[in-house]
Structure 1
């Protein structure tokens, strides 16, 4: 990997200014890579998951292609020099200032297994638009997909432009310790800390998208049925294995049963059966399945209200080739339970009840800042109250997760859920160095004003004139 990094850095230096044509060409090749293999890529993901809906993978491909096309369409505009104001009197004598967005050099991207296309190619869009060379570390948890993507990238790009590496945690650790010019990681807060610690040895700047426990607040004025449909549709994506997936719901105590009824009805309509249903995504592997089961069993043992959505009463023991667990509500789980301490990352949802909206605000603010916050309310004052008194990476009002699909919005976390952004112009800026350029006029104002040694009366008068409130 060190040799590959050096090859890319040498090629970057040799290229000099990266033209718009070169950037568009690289983006075009990434677009063609995904589009032309839209039949082969879902097969690899289905192999890794045991069962992953082809339609969900195509939706992931669509979202990723939109990122790449958005960057391709706008890269010439993003590259333009950004003129800045020069103060008087320098401006009067012809001094000029500007910002030039310069490629950082070689960018490292660490992708995930749950959305292995989007979490690599979406940041790749910003990195290529910014003129960088890129090395991608693909997740070992989805080996078939990693192998497929690595092969496709090697066909589409010279290794000095974009390259992929594969391997387990030891490769990921070595990758994070390389002296990249920028490092982008998507994953858990625990691993994010390790990545940031390794990057700090080289003072490598990082973009971290770390997920966490994204809450849903259903205000009393919300349409409960509509909220239930939208929440469960979002939760169904990848069977909850999504960094932005709703993790717990806060609903008024007297509306709990109505919400559960609507949510159960809609989920049963989406998935009348589960085990043999190709639309219902499997949990990625047995380890994660057992982790999810342990959350449910711990809650049951603690006497917590646990409600499964299993329309036909299927038996989930002894599965072969796939790992499924029913969509399950855990009602008013205590904070001492693991399901309230760890990101769920599966088809389980905690429902917490409240009497006053201020309780929701206090609870969210007492816990690590989430990647997403989902507000269901038609009342503008309620929306504003929740927006003004909480902090999160992003917010979706009257839906879940969809803010991340808007290319013109920055995507990223805050605090425990991450730092920095990718997607759109914000991603371009993340992978660029905003280089300040000042061009002085031929007239030497300092010398004329006497503000150079040896100082005297002219310096006193000049400074007295300019130092004001």
Structure 2
């Protein structure tokens, strides 16, 4: 789809929205339709994702994409009426007897740009929020995962009118044109580097943007915590989709004294998770050759700068697109793998001896999308929360905080801006519109010009009683 076609589509949506913004009943009907469409095409979506990666577990796609998406739709349908209600607030005393309230109203036609690593979820989850808020929407899935992009396009466009919801596909040039369209809101999921380009493209139109980016999400293990349990939970989250997850642990901080034990526990847990990894249908492949070569380059750079790379699977066997899990010790900030988001099954270990130095290290780095801390001590946990900043925090586990519908999900600083999921997603795609309703007779009528001596004394009195 070229620039002119995109603009015509957007104009058509905006025109349709102005004529009839979707009411709550219509939103509920269309959320139910989206749920039915996903369920009816579940196997097609799973198969398309498998083809995009060359191999990805059916169970991973079900557990990490289809199930969370359906659960999110269900959550929105249960709560949409209460989210959309008018909310009265206490009015200012000097404006009595007026009433004041706010209500959430849809923005119009919004653009949603999905991400290849979880194409189904990251294209359609923001759509759930957009529909719930009453918007029209155009979706652009990532061209890096073309099979799933085409299935999403077919199932959306054959079930919804284009003036309401439409999906477009295409290469990076289409994505560039898409981000420059005058949407009423633009939602992007992807890398920090591309996020900067998206924001720049949206700026001339003053299009508000939500950027769901990545970054280097650390896991800090306190010496008192079980290395076995920490290793299990870190590696479970890390190896979902072969590390190609925005909230996967990007590096681990632990005291030097835990190195040997942590390595031992990680090796055992990887063998338990994937006893025959080269023949496993449950261990995903790297999305394409370019990304595979990028990961190899990160390892070569680290090795050349003194890192110790630990293969967690001892084998000389090679399978196309399969990268075995690795730990990396003796890392330094000069290494590329400590500067870039890894997005693969490589886990660097940073040795810091206490919580204070760990907090300092995290704070000297760009703000991460997620921060994981393994400890049972409430005082230390509260200290971490007080002195660090990240998109989200999960204590004693990894990844799963993003499935909490009543918590906002989103980054801060280099890891993004804005939130979605549940009510926060509904708010992102809404205008919180302020309304004041004045009565026929109002106190403010007595303060119109001319300002007589009586009015001057009244204003002076009002100022004296409102002073803090």
TM-score, normalised with respect to structure 2: 0.96
Aligned-pair distance for 1:25? Answer: 0.8
Contact 1:372–1:393 (Cα < 8 Å) also in 2: yes
Contact 2:95–2:444 (Cα < 8 Å) also in 1: no
Deviation per residue, 1:304-361 (Å, 9 max, x gap): 11101114x1422xx4xx4011100111311111100100000000111111211110
Aligned pair 1:308/2:311, yes or no? yes
Match runs of 1:38-437 below 5 Å: 38-59=42-63, 60-91=65-96, 93=97, 95-311=98-314, 313-316=315-318, 319=319, 322-437=320-435
SS at match of 1:179: coil
Aligned-pair distance for 1:11? Answer: 0.8
Q: Supply the distance in 1 between the matched residues of 2:353 and 2:265 (Cα, whole angstroms).
A: 20
Q: Supply the distance in 1 between the matched residues of 2:129 and 2:13 (Cα, whole angstroms).
A: 17
Aligned pair 1:466/2:462, yes or no? yes
SS at match of 2:210: strand
Aligned pair 1:11/2:20, yes or no? no
Aligned twin of 1:453: 449
Dislocated runs of 4+, deviation >3 Å: none
- Count, aligned residues: 459
- Give the root-mean-square deviation of aligned CA atoms: 1.0
Deviation per residue, 1:30-57 (Å, 9 max, x gap): 1111111111111111111001111101
When structure 1 is superposed on structure 2, of 330-339 and 210-219 the one drifting more is: 330-339
SS at match of 1:170: helix
Contact 1:273–1:310 (Cα < 8 Å) also in 2: no
Q: Supply the distance in 2 between the matched residues of 1:454 and 1:296 (Cα, whole angstroms).
A: 77
Deviation per residue, 1:145-201 (Å, 9 max, x gap): 111110000122111111111111110010000000000000001100110111111
Aligned twin of 1:36: 40
TM-score, normalised with respect to structure 1: 0.96
Contact 1:275–1:314 (Cα < 8 Å) also in 2: no
SS at match of 2:278: coil
Q: Supply the distance in 2 between the matched residues of 1:89 and 1:202 (Cα, whole angstroms).
A: 39
Unaligned 5+ segments in structure 1 are none
Contact 2:369–2:411 (Cα < 8 Å) also in 1: yes
SS at match of 1:102: strand
Deviation per residue, 1:52-78 (Å, 9 max, x gap): 111101111101111111111111111
Q: Supply the distance in 2 between the matched residues of 1:376 and 1:459 (Cα, whole angstroms).
A: 64
Q: Supply the distance in 2 between the matched residues of 1:219 and 1:425 (Cα, whole angstroms).
A: 34
Q: Supply the distance in 1 between the matched residues of 2:293 and 2:278 (Cα, whole angstroms).
A: 17
1:408–1:398 distance in 2 versus 1, CA, 3 Å:
same
Q: Supply the distance in 2 between the matched residues of 1:421 and 1:66 (Cα, whole angstroms).
A: 18
Aligned-pair distance for 1:84? Answer: 1.2
SS at match of 1:352: strand
SS at match of 1:387: helix
Aligned-pair distance for 1:444? Answer: 3.6
Unaligned 5+ segments in structure 2 are 1-5
Q: Supply the distance in 2 between the matched residues of 1:120 and 1:445 (Cα, whole angstroms).
A: 51
Q: Supply the distance in 1 between the matched residues of 2:69 and 2:311 (Cα, whole angstroms).
A: 33
1:3–1:256 distance in 2 versus 1, CA, 3 Å:
same
Contact 2:306–2:331 (Cα < 8 Å) also in 1: no
SS at match of 1:48: helix
Deviation per residue, 1:256-305 (Å, 9 max, x gap): 11111111100111112222211000000000001111111122222211
Q: Supply the distance in 1 between the matched residues of 2:154 and 2:58 (Cα, whole angstroms).
A: 21
Q: Supply the distance in 2 between the matched residues of 1:67 and 1:15 (Cα, whole angstroms).
A: 26
